[in-house]
Amino acid sequence: MLPWRRHRRTDPRLEPRAQADAWQLVSLLLDYPDDALVARLPALREVAAGLPDRVGMPLGRFLDHVAGADLAALQVDYVDTFDVTRKCCLHLTYFLHGDTRNRGVALVQFKQAYRKHGAELADADAELPDHLSVVLEFGATVDPDAAWRLLNDHRVGIELLHRALQRRGSPWLDVVDALRATLPELQGDDEQALARLIAQGPPQESVGIDDAPYAIDPALDRLRTPPSSGGVCGDGAPPPAHPIPSARPSP
């Protein structure tokens, strides 16, 4: 059972086309940055410019950051942010289940949601099905309603990610800000659940956000390799390549 209430609001905050564009762009920008991203910057700027200001402006700021950054340094920053630091985990079920066996059940539920709508994640080297980029691509290209439910079931986890990025002064804060602008705002019960989650951390942990549950794992400090689903909040597998699988309908 979720430690916070599920949002009962089901009406998206954007028009369908704008929501799809926003989610697809956020999905791309939360992936590991590479030469392909840099090459696509002009097209991505055009998409961001066509979105409502509350979504497009933060995305535009992040695209400006990418354009002005050294790619190698940006890649290191990505790894340090999302693969080394638990509190910035991009796997939505981690915030609720930690690395308990209940998380395996939750991951199966994500896969079943995709399969129900004709999408298969068959790439063995791809991200886990709860990776935020995967959920957003699924919502942008396959079924927005199913993705909406998944995102809102884990809305408090997204808020925790946002606050962690804010504390780091991370450039990816703008990307998550844009995502939040497409989702319902937190209500009073959600804020209380968020406070509990910050204080307690995920299952199997026993101290607050500034310590073990979401702190940097010292054993991972030396691991500055390209990110993978087997990182600090992944499935513990050896680090593979880092593709985001296409959540498009299977043939």
Give all domains of the chain, ordered by start, each with its CATH number: 16-220 (1.10.3480)
Output phi, psi for 121, to 5 deg. Answer: -105, 90
Residue 250 pLDDT exceeds 70: no
Spatial separation of the C-alpha atoms in residues 76 and 60, rounded to whole Å: 21
The pLDDT value given to residue 24: 98
Least confident of 28-37, 43-52, 177-186, 235-244: 235-244
For the record, the structure tokens of 106 come out as 């939750």
Split at pLDDT 50, 70, 90, the class of 105 is confident
Region 164-186 average pLDDT: 95
Q: Which residue has the higher pLDDT, 55 or 194?
A: 55
Summarize pLDDT for 41-100 with one digit per residue, the tens: 999 999 999 999 999 999 999 999 999 999 999 999 999 999 987 889 999 988 776 666
Residue 192 pLDDT exceeds 70: no
User: Cβ distance 95 to 157 under 8 Å?
Assistant: yes
The pLDDT value given to residue 153: 86
Name the maximum alpha-carbon separation found in the chain: 47
